[in-house]
Each structure stands twice: as C-alpha cells, then as structure tokens.
Structure 1
Amino acid sequence: MDLMSDMPMGSMSMASGAPSLLTMQKMYWAVVGSAIGLATIVNLLNWILARHRLRDTSLTPAKPKSLFFGIYATITAIVREVGHATLHPLTVGSHTIHFPPLGPVLIMLANLITILVLCFYKLDTLDVWQWENIGYSTGCIAICQLPLIFLLAGRQNIIGFLAGMSYASLNWYHRWAARTLWLTSTIHMCFWFRDWGRYDYIAYELVNDDLTKRGFAAWCLLTCILITSVRPIRGLSYEVFVLQHLVTFIGFIVAVWMHVPNEVRVYLWIPIGLLVFDRLARYIGGAYLNLALFHRQTDGKTGQRLWTHSATFAPMPGNVTRVTIPNPGMHWQPGQHVFLTCHSLAPFQCHPFTIASLPEDQRLDFYIRAKTGATRRLFRFASKNDDNLGPPTAAAVSQDQTVFIEGPYGAVRPLRQFDSVVLLAGGTGATFTVPLLRDLVSGWNKDSRGETSRVSRSVKRLAATKRIRFVWVIKSRAQLGLFESQLQAALADVAECQLRQPDGGREVEISIYITCDERLEVPHPVSTNAPPASSTVVTEEAPNLSETNGFDEKDNISVRSLSAGSLSSSAAPAMAGRGCLPGGGCCCTTQIMDEDQIDTCTCKCSGPVPVPAANSGVGGANEQTMKSSEPPTPLPIALPIFAGRPHPRTIIRKVLEKAEGESAVVVCGPQGLSDDVRRSVVSLSDERAVHKGTGAQGIYLHIESFGY
C-alpha cells in the first residue's frame, strides 16, 4: 500500500475513456474559476453602474438608461428573487431554526454535484473491481478542494476582493465547503474499507499500513474540526475554538501531506501559501496601524509613545459600553468593522465590532453590548465610577487604555447610487445603519453646497438618493440615548439642505420602535442584535433621558399603538391604562401593520420616551413644517416613537411605491428581523414584477450579519 503514494497518478488509467485523475482535478478548478470569474464580472458591472448613476444628471439616475443595463436589471431581479427566497423559521421547543436563503444553498449544491460527478465519472459503484479506482478518484477530488476552503476563509480574502463580498459573508461558504470536503473524504475512506472488507482486511490495514494510518488520522482530525465548528459548540468559547481550530488544522495538513503522493501536494502548498499570505498581511497591516512610528501624533508626544491608539470607555444604557478612539490611523467606509483588542482588560482576545462613526468625526466609536467574557469586562471597567449606569459624564469616563485594531473589514455597495434607501436595525444593530444614514445625508449636504467628488471632477453629484427611510427597534426608551443626538443632527442637516435646494426632492423619515421583546437583548459582537419590534407613538411628555438616573422599564406611558385591525376603536378605551390587548399580552409586542393607522393604547413596558413632534420625517408628510419661513432649530428635534414591532413589508412597500429607480434595503439585527425583511423583499419584488414590464424598479438587499 505504501507504493501507492509514489504511483504516477497523471498517467493512471481509471476506466475506458475516463480522464486521468490530475485532469479531473483541473476540471474541478475550471468550474470553480468560472464561478469566481462570473462573480468578478458582476462586481465590475455594479461598479460601472454606480459611477454612471452618479454622473447622470437626469431626474431618474438610478433607472436603467440603455438596453444592455435594462436586460441586466431584469436578470438581476430574477436572480435576487430566487437567491433571497427562504423558508419560514422552524420552532422546536424553545429553539428556533433559521434556514439560509436559497441562493447560497444552490451555489453549494452545485459545488457538491460537480464534485460527485467528477468522483464517479465513468465508474460503476456496483462493480467490485472498480471500488479501488473509486477510492483513488474520490481521494484526488477531495485533496483538490483544500485551496477553495482557504480562499474562502481568510480575512484578506482574494475571492471577496474580486466578488465585492465581505470575508464574513464568505465564511458561510467556507464552512459548507469544508463539510463537502469531509463528505468526499468519507466516501474515499469507505470505498477502501469496502474493498478491504471483502477479505476482512480493514483492521489489519489500520494497524500495519502506515499510509492507511495517516489517512485515517487525517479523517479523524477533519471530523474533529467539523464538529467543533458547529455554532452551538464554537459559541461556548470563541477563543478556545480559534486555538483548537489552528492546532487541528496543522495536524490535519501534516497527516494529509504524509498520506498523499507528491503529484498532488501542490494542493497542500496552495492552502499553506494562502494562510501565510493572510497572516502576513494582517500582521503587517496591524503593525502599520498600531505602531506610533508610522503615524503623526497630535498630542505633542511624538517619539514618547510606542502604540498609536488609546481608548476611553464609558457606560451606556442597556449594558452597553461606548469605546472611543480619537484620531485613528486608518480610513474606513460606513458599515465596516474592525477587530478590537485591549490586552489590559481582556488579554489575548480579539473581537469584531462595527464602527459607529464616520471618518469626518476623526474618531472611532464602538457601542458594545455586554454579554460574557471580554465584553462584560469592558463594561465593568467602564462603569466602575458610575453606580447608576446613566448617561456618561466627565467623571464617569474611565481612564485611557491602550488598544489595538485590525481592519477595516466589510463590504456594502455604495448606497449613494440608489434612488431610495430603507435602513432597518434592531438594538445595537444601529451601529451599522446610523453611519450609513449619516453618510447619505453628508452626500446631500455636499451636493447642496455645490461640492464635487475629490476622486473625479467629472462626477456631477455625490448622492443620487432621493428618499431615506430609517427604522430602529429597541427594547427600552433608555437605549434611544445611544444615537438620539446623531439622528436629530441628521434631520437638522436635511432641513438645511431643503432650505438651500427647495426643489431637491430629498426626503428622510425616521421611526423608533420600542418593544418588550426580550430577544432584543441578545448581544452580538458585530452589532447585529435584535428581532422585529412593533410600533407606538408617545402622546404624553416624559422626562429627558439625560435627566434620568434610573432606567426602570416599567414606567407608565400613554402611547398610540396598533393597527385598526389589531385593536378596534371600541376596544381601545377599555384597554387604556392596562397596556393589554383584548386577547392578552402587551401592546409593545404587537406588530404594527401601518404607522398611518394607529389607535390609542397605554403601554407599561417601555417606560417614558421623548415626545414626537409633528415632523415624523423631513420632506415626507410633514414637509410643510420643515419648509416654514422660520429656519428650523438644529437641535433638539423630537424623534417619532412607536411602541410595538414594525411590519417591514409595509414599510418597504411604501418606499418602493415612490421610488423612481433602484432601491436599497439594508438590515442589521437578529436573525428573525433579517428573515422577515428578506421574505418581504422577495414577496414585493415578485408582486410588483420588478423589471418585467411593469415599470417597477429593482431592490438591492444587504443583510449584515456576523456570527462566531
């Protein structure tokens, strides 16, 4: 059996008319390369499309203007409808099983079918004399899959760069490609066992044959990697998972190296090279970002500091820690995240967090929900001088700590190219959507002042967007303080844009939903927290958040809530003061079908919230208020607040009905909210027959999610 490792596989005949084993490996990579090439072409076309839209001076820049892009829009709409389709979650006891969208499933299914076809091409599984040939074939196809797994795994991701995807999105493909490798390896092992089993030879081979022992050891290590990579297990301790993942990987590569012949070891060199490239790029980039030697100091301490970044930690409502790094030595785009490390508080732990600020802020802001481990330590450190855990004051902000950052990572298509943008977030998922909102408004501001792009003077506008719809779901009114001032500033900026350009047609509408749904408290390291919530608007004045020392979520408030269908007008007075629905339950957990049709309900779950003013948005139904002769007061602008859970389909539909070009829907929150938005987009795209002759324009969907 040892002689098999030295057999020249390139000339080995498998069956009548069947290609050699090395040819089959090349055929697999021809298929994979074609898929990557197609994704690259699509990414390039999207980039060209974005530039054309920003150059277009017509009233509908986000609408296809040529036959080619019209056909491309139709194909894209069909692919999106199929790719985003997903099954409803399945609830088993206290656990909810969420299913992935159809698009990624079809891609991995195509990969599996390609592999199985190549494994068994012109081979008869019922012919006992071909079982050995099938063992060789499946082994060769298994080994050639290793480079793809590592291409999908690294943070410095080549496929992600070509396809315009984040490494976090590709990580799902990485896991399933690894499972496909395990399946192929298992088939490879089983056919050898099946062949030896005819002579009762399996135990003998495992004990006496070195080649068999190395192969079986490699399979055991791969199985261990697979089992420990399942979400419930890897979620127990991410740091332990990373360490054991690296150790078992090294053992797996060594075992495979000793098991396979020289001719196919190139498929081991490639993963090793990819791993080294990823690590070197990260270490070199990390050294540049974090060593003060490469950055100009703004505090007069040049030459006295080794590390560039120091951070302040402040406690925020809802067990959230605000981490601020002034003057970071990096540039980033809205919606990106970095890996943050603070060895003085959480040694040797590195976690991803979304950047909640813009580059013009000249600082990095992170809002980190305390759960366990490192996030809990950060919150304890930040709150040690603040017993009430109220809004941070100068005395409550903890002393600076040296931190290290790596990144930025993440990829979102530039939202300024879309006619209308819908941003939905749950809990601290707003750390992702608020910077996107601010960036769009910043583009409007620059356009209204007549500024042009620094990249190309030929670009006529910095934002083709006309409408923004922002929805934020939170569990208590105390969490509103995380981004209240930024949202108010965005509304004030839009009002100024309208004064400078009354005919600009720019609109923004903001809704804050407060819900009693406990799932909103589920933390997430990259600000992807919170399920769908419901709506209600406050009608009584409440104390200002900055004056609130405690955050009792049981304070009574009177709210306007629920759709007409959910609570009849005759039943509303009977329910007042109890915060209950006719069938039982709090109105804060009820889904609001339409914000424009709300009855009265008293909610006891959400606590006092700011009073919504007449302007629920800028440029929408309250446009006359913002266009009054008196200049609007920049701050404070009261935010419209609802009690309950929003109905994403209704919110998105209303925006699409006004859209004159392609729209973008972006969601960051718990999986339940993401699934609801995904199904709503697919349903609306099909219902409106997007780009199929009805005139309805396309819908781009981005779901930000990150899971250990």
Structure 2
Amino acid sequence: MAHMSMGDDAPDLFHLQRMYWAVVGSVIAAATVVNILNRYLAYQRLRDTTLTPSKPKSLFFNIYATVTAIVREASYATLPPRSVRGYTFHFTPLGPVSLILANLVIVLVLCFYKLDTADRWKWEDVGYQTGFIAICQLPLIFLLAGRTNIIGLLSGTSYNRLNWFHRWIARTLWLTATIHMGFWFRNWAQYDYIIYQLRNDPLTKRGFSAWCILTAIVLSSMAPVRRLSYEFFVLQHLVLFVGFLVAVWLHAPAEVKVWVWIPIGLVVFDRVARYAWATYANLSVFHRSPTKHALWAHRATFTPLPGNVTRVTIENPTVGWKAGQHVFLTCHSLVPLQSHPFTIASIPSDGKMEFLIRAEKGGTRRFFRFASKYHGILGSSEKDAAEEKTRTVLIDGPYGAIRPLRQFDSVVLLAGGMGVTYIMPCLRDIVAGWKESGRGESTARTTATKRIRVVWVVKPRSQFSWFERELQTVHSEVKQCRRDQPDITREIEMSVYVTCDEMLEPVVQQAVCLQSGEPTETRVENPAEGTEKARHKDDASVHSITPSHHTSSPMEDCCQAGGGCCCCCVDTVDEDQIQITNKICTCSGHVAPTDTPKVVVDSTETGPEKPTTEIESSFQSSDEGLENISIFTGRPKPRHIIRKVLEQAEGESAVVVCGPAGLSDEVRRSVVYLSDERAVHKGTGAQGVYLHVERFGW
C-alpha cells in the first residue's frame, strides 16, 4: 500500500514519511549546531584574558550575537496572564508555540498533499495518507519523553523542557489519527457501513481501540488531571501507552510496523540506561561505603525547617552534579514505590547532597512528619538518635541542563519561595569560581562573571533560616576574593522581599550592599524619638527590615495550612526610589493602622529625581543575622532590577528565574522589553541577555 500512487502525481506514502523526518532531523541538527557554538563560546570566554571576555571578539560572533538577540526577543515573548473566574491562565512563550505550530502545519500539509478532499472518491486515499503520517510521528513522541534523552543530549536541553513538546506532539498525533479515522468513517457513511465495520472488521476494531486509548492518554495528560494525583497519573500513563502500542501494532500494515518497533526500542534504551546508572549509583559494592556490610550506598537525614519544609541531606553521595540539576529521590521506607524530582540545593564542594522539600501532600508530607517526629525528642543516646533519623534513599540522576553561568559578565538570579533551592547553588557556584581564581591554581580563567544580583521573594520571614548560613558564607567569600584580587571587579548585591508576614511593617536599618562594600545613608524620622542621621559614603538608599528567625506565628500557620497565604495585597517596591504606598496589609487582609511612627528613607542626593517616600509603619528589630542583605516589605519590580544590571554589563548577561508562574512571566516580559528597548546587538553597543526560566515543564 505504501508504494501505491494516490494519483495526481502524489508521491508514495513512504516518501511522505521521509519528508516529515527530513524536517524533524533538520530542526534537531540546527539545535545541535547552536549547542556546539554555545559550548565553544563558554570555552572561549573562560580562556579570554581581556577585560571583557563575554563580549563578541570577531565578525562571525558579532553576527551570531545579533541573530541570537533577534531570535530571543521573539521566542521569549509571551502574553500577559488572564484571569477567568478566579483562575489565572499563563501562556507559553512564542518560541515553543512556534515550533509546535510549525510541526502542526507540516503534518497537515503532508496529510492532504495533492489530495482533493471535496472529491468523494479521494476520501479513502486521505484515510490511507493520514494514517501513514500519523504512525511515523510515534518515534518523535518517545524521543521527547525519556529522561535519557538523545535530543536533549544533542541540543543541550533538559528532558523536563522537552516533555512539554512531547505532550503537544502527542496531541498533534491525536488530531492526525482523528482525521485518519474521520475520513474512513466519512467514506463508509455514504453506504451506512460504519457500524458494520466496527462490529465485523478486526482491523477497524483495532484501529478504533487505538484511537480510544490515545484519546484517554491525551485527556489524562491535561495539567488539571495530572495535578489531582501525580502518582496515579504516572501509573495509568504507563499502562495506557503500552496498550496503545499493542493496538497500533495490530492495526498497522506490515510494511509500517517499523514505526512501532522504534518507540519500543527507545523505551527499552531509556529504561536500561537509567536502571544501569541507578544500580551503579546506589549499590555500595561499586563505592566505598562508610557503613560496613551495607547494601545501599546512601542514607539520608531528615530535618524539619520553618514553613513545613524538610531538609534532606545525603552525606558523601556517589554521583557528581552541577549547579541547577535535580535528581529523582526514592525512600521506600517512608514513601513506598514513589520517586519524585527535587532540586539539589548544595554544590559538589560541600561533600553532601541537600534538598529542601516543602510538605504539600502525599510523600512530601510524610517526609516532614518523619523529620518532625524525630527532631530533638528522642530519649535514647545521640548515636541511636542519629541512626533513627536516617533512612536509606535511592537517587536517579542527576538531570537538568543550563548554560554555564560563569561565562556571563553579569548574572541576575530571581527566586520566589522554594525557587531559592535552584538559584542558591547557581550563586554559590559562581562565587566558588571567584575563589578558585583568587587562589591562582591555574592560568585559565574559572569565571568571567563580574556582577551578581540576587532577589529572593518570600512570604513569612522565617524562610530566611533556610539559607542564612549559605548567604553569610557567600558574603565572607566575596570579601576574601576582593582582598585577594582588589584590581578585579567582584560585585554582588542581594535583596529579600517579604510579601506576607504577621507584622508586614517595614523597618529602616543600615544595610550593607555587597556591591560597594560601604553602608548606605539612611535617615529615620520618628516624632516620638526625634531625628537620627547617619551619614555614609554611598549615594544609594536601601530600605530594609530585619527578620526574626525560628519563630512561629498565627500568620505562618495560616499560610502553611492553606498552602498559600491569607495576605497578598502588598504593593511593589522600587529599590531605587523606595516607592511603597501606605496600603500595607496585615494577615487578616486589613490595612495596617496609620498611627504608627513615620519612617522616611532618603538618599544623600536631594532633588526632584529622588523623592522622599513616607511609609506608615512600626519598627521592631530582633536579630542581626542578615545585616548584609537588603530586606524589603513588598514585591519587587523585576524590570527595574534587571535594567540596572544591564546598564553596567560589559558583555552578555544572564537572567535566571525560578518561582511561581506570575514571577516567571513578569521576568520573561521584562527581558523582552529591555532587549528591545536597548536594541541589543543592533548598533547601540548593548550586549545580549540570556534568559533561563526554571520550571518543571512549562
């Protein structure tokens, strides 16, 4: 049948299948070339001895940077979110959508190529042609689904991003299969023959069964269904796709069964590769285990943290990883037969693998209950207590891919809530590169980054304790790097925004910006206590509050119980001008009282360009743990923060965001706007901006 002519000079069906894969192969090849060029750029920048290693040095790379900037502006663009009856819809960026639409157009063109759908005598030919185009899409779907991903390896893309394409290619396959079935039914309907075929023709029965199973797969893969129960989704997904492959194999003609065998081979390859690596990583026989006669190589400790978060720590892990990667963690003694992905919150030099896991429901809730049960309440000896608190865990990974951040001149890291587990290792990895350069261990440059800007948005202040030690260590290491290499730029600025706390009352306190190493000028006016003036060298004002750690409150319980916060009406904050309105809400959602002392934050430069802002608030300070970080009450303005960094950048910059969809969307739109406003690589001298939005799928 595949070599039968459809008439009107139409190519045979095998040729149409080859045309489809020629297009797919071209796209994969183009992505591979771009990946190779990006890797070479990183290699070149880390060996460039000039003062601007992240700036293009040749005509070819200038052209490449210009083309890249244009493509980025188009692919990063996204529509603002829309709210319908309380549910907010977030839209996918234009780049991925364009690829899916292009695939859809190509598939539909091949389905109807040189066929007249208005001619009733061609309906059977359309049925054959669409069937052959439908079945040849199967290998692409399975190529995009595996964790051991060939396309991801070639293109430098993480499997969890490719999984979005996997779902939409599957929906395109469903549409193609529906057209295939529809034209056969349309042809049989002329003779009232549909019911007869479904009852008596085995080939029709198998084809209709395959379509029904594929429909169930597509419907059950919708985001609302997946979120109901991820474990159930994974189980039924595996069962359904096995049934679908069997039905398609029984339905397909012999000459196209190869398109079914290829997916089977890809599934076997993915499973064998994963299980082989997991066996090596988790069995102590392949490693030096600290516990004698232990079968498994990893044991983890579970520690409860504020905010219903569990810190899981694996000492001396048997596998290496890079900042920004994640693993699938399994603990059968606590959560049998379940495996979930968690971002690695530590860096390899720590000698341990740490995860911060928020207790939601199911397995993560069991982790927190176990950690809380054994935290400081055991009556046995310290050795027995430590043994009781540890459990055997298995790891699968690491997975995840991001361009090395050390190659960029300036890096902006933004996180919302638990997103800090992603940006913190990225921050520490760059600072580790600065330390290596300071030691002079090698002649090669270990990092080209000069400036780092960190923004962390939290709800309750108790979340600061998650990474308080790491943040202070970063500050100390940066100071040491400046002492070792005073002639090299090493600037870092960190801010924390509190959006929902039981106090929600801004405090003005001296905050040391790590960029300059000098404290800022702050003026506090309080009618009850008089006026205090503290004069310092910097010309920028910083508005901050000092949090109170390790305390619980009714507000925290409110936020934790509902999975969200009962107070979210805090306005945005402009760090440059400290613009905060007097609409500051308490936990109950009411406006804070206005009979509290007046706090005025000003800069050393007076004038119309930098107005004084009045904030109705009260002030309570309880600790000095984060005196080196600017802390604000409110929500950040990512566009202003990113613009300030880009104006100082002397080479390509990177913006990394991990957090809620709203924050990610705002950062994405800000990068597109600023890239277009500054005319990046279009004759203005403005350098490129690389954006990485980390979410598990889009």
TM-score normalised by the chain length of structure 2:
0.85
Which residue does 1:20 correspond to in 2? 12
Q: Are 2:278 and 1:286 aligned?
A: yes
Counterparts of 1:601 and 1:560, CA distance in 2:
12
Letter in 2 for 1:180: T
Which residue does 1:487 correspond to in 2? 471
Which residue does 1:498 correspond to in 2? 482
User: Of the candidates 587, 599, 605, which is equivalent to residue 613 of structure 2?
Assistant: 599
User: Of the candidates 111, 114, 117, which is equivalent to residue 106 of structure 2?
Assistant: 114
Secondary structure of the 1:235 match is: helix
Q: In the alignment, is the contact (CA less than 8 A) between 2:671 and 2:689 conserved in 1?
A: yes
1:94 to partner: Cα distance: 1.4
User: CA 1:517/1:210 → structure 2, altered by over 3 Å: closer, same or farther?
Assistant: farther
Counterparts of 1:232 and 1:99, CA distance in 2:
15
1:396 to partner: Cα distance: 8.9
Q: Are 2:351 and 1:336 aligned?
A: no
Which residue does 2:86 correspond to in 1? 94
Q: Deviations over 1:366-405 (max 9, x none)?
A: 00000000000000000014599xxxx9999761100000
User: Of the candidates 307, 315, 318, which is equivalent to residue 318 of structure 1?
Assistant: 307
Counterparts of 2:180 and 2:575, CA distance in 1:
62
Q: In the alignment, is the contact (CA less than 8 A) between 1:536 and 1:562 conserved in 2?
A: no
Which residue does 1:525 correspond to in 2? none
Q: In the alignment, is the contact (CA less than 8 A) between 1:357 and 1:365 conserved in 2?
A: yes
User: Of the candidates 676, 685, 693, which is equivalent to residue 675 of structure 2?
Assistant: 685
Q: Deviations over 1:199-225 (max 9, x none)?
A: 111111011100000000000000000
Q: In the alignment, is the contact (CA less than 8 A) between 1:331 and 1:359 conserved in 2?
A: yes
Q: Give the alignment of 1:200-239 within 5 angstroms.
A: 200-239=192-231
Counterparts of 2:211 and 2:93, CA distance in 1:
30
Q: Give the alignment of 1:533-572 within 5 angstroms.
A: 537-538=543-544, 545=549, 548=551, 553=556, 562-563=573-574
Counting aligned pairs with the same residue, the percent is 60
Secondary structure of the 1:318 match is: coil
Counterparts of 2:593 and 2:125, CA distance in 1:
66
Q: Deviations over 1:676-700 (max 9, x none)?
A: 0000000000000000000000000
Letter in 1 for 2:275: Y
User: CA 1:602/1:324 → structure 2, altered by over 3 Å: closer, same or farther?
Assistant: farther
Q: Give the alignment of 1:611-626 within 5 angstroms.
A: none
User: CA 1:280/1:466 → structure 2, altered by over 3 Å: closer, same or farther?
Assistant: same
User: Of the candidates 629, 648, 659, which is equivalent to residue 658 of structure 1?
Assistant: 648
Which residue does 1:374 correspond to in 2? 363
Secondary structure of the 1:406 match is: strand
1:311 to partner: Cα distance: 0.3
Which residue does 2:171 correspond to in 1? 179
TM-score normalised by the chain length of structure 1:
0.84
1:485 to partner: Cα distance: 1.1
1:239 to partner: Cα distance: 1.1
RMSD of aligned residue pairs (Cα, Å)? 3.0
Q: In the alignment, is the contact (CA less than 8 A) between 2:303 and 2:375 conserved in 1?
A: no
Counterparts of 1:124 and 1:264, CA distance in 2:
24
Q: Are 2:344 and 1:355 aligned?
A: yes
User: Of the candidates 487, 492, 514, which is equivalent to residue 498 of structure 2?
Assistant: 514
1:517 to partner: Cα distance: 8.9
User: CA 1:552/1:358 → structure 2, altered by over 3 Å: closer, same or farther?
Assistant: same
Q: Give the alignment of 1:242-321 within 5 angstroms.
A: 242-297=234-289, 299=290, 301-302=291-292, 304-321=293-310
User: CA 1:427/1:608 → structure 2, altered by over 3 Å: closer, same or farther?
Assistant: farther
Letter in 2 for 1:434: M
User: Of the candidates 454, 461, 467, which is equivalent to residue 477 of structure 1?
Assistant: 461
User: CA 1:562/1:156 → structure 2, altered by over 3 Å: closer, same or farther?
Assistant: closer
Q: Give the alignment of 1:397-412 within 5 angstroms.
A: 399-412=389-402
Secondary structure of the 1:473 match is: strand
Which residue does 1:591 correspond to in 2? none
Q: Are 2:56 and 1:72 aligned?
A: no
Point out the more displaced range, 235-244 or 217-226.
235-244
Q: Are 2:50 and 1:55 aligned?
A: no
Q: In the alignment, is the contact (CA less than 8 A) between 1:536 and 1:560 conserved in 2?
A: no
1:601 to partner: Cα distance: 3.0
User: Of the candidates 412, 417, 425, which is equivalent to residue 422 of structure 1?
Assistant: 412
Secondary structure of the 1:641 match is: strand
Which residue does 1:465 correspond to in 2? 449
Counterparts of 1:279 and 1:328, CA distance in 2:
22
Counterparts of 1:64 and 1:187, CA distance in 2:
49
Letter in 1 for 2:494: I
1:97 to partner: Cα distance: 0.4
Counterparts of 1:236 and 1:330, CA distance in 2:
33
Stretches of structure 1 that go unaligned for 5 or more consecutive residues are 1-7, 453-458, 519-534, 588-593, 613-635
Q: Deviations over 1:547-583 (max 9, x none)?
A: x46686599xxx99955999989x86xx89x879x99
Which residue does 2:435 correspond to in 1? 445
Q: Deviations over 1:516-559 (max 9, x none)?
A: 299xxxxxxxxxxxxxxxx99445x665x25x46686599xxx9
User: CA 1:484/1:567 → structure 2, altered by over 3 Å: closer, same or farther?
Assistant: closer
Which residue does 2:691 correspond to in 1? 701
Q: In the alignment, is the contact (CA less than 8 A) between 2:571 and 2:635 conserved in 1?
A: no
Which residue does 2:522 correspond to in 1? none
Q: In the alignment, is the contact (CA less than 8 A) between 1:553 and 1:607 conserved in 2?
A: no
Counterparts of 2:632 and 2:384, CA distance in 1:
33
Q: In the alignment, is the contact (CA less than 8 A) between 1:62 and 1:464 conserved in 2?
A: yes
1:608 to partner: Cα distance: 6.1
Q: In the alignment, is the contact (CA less than 8 A) between 2:126 and 2:180 conserved in 1?
A: yes
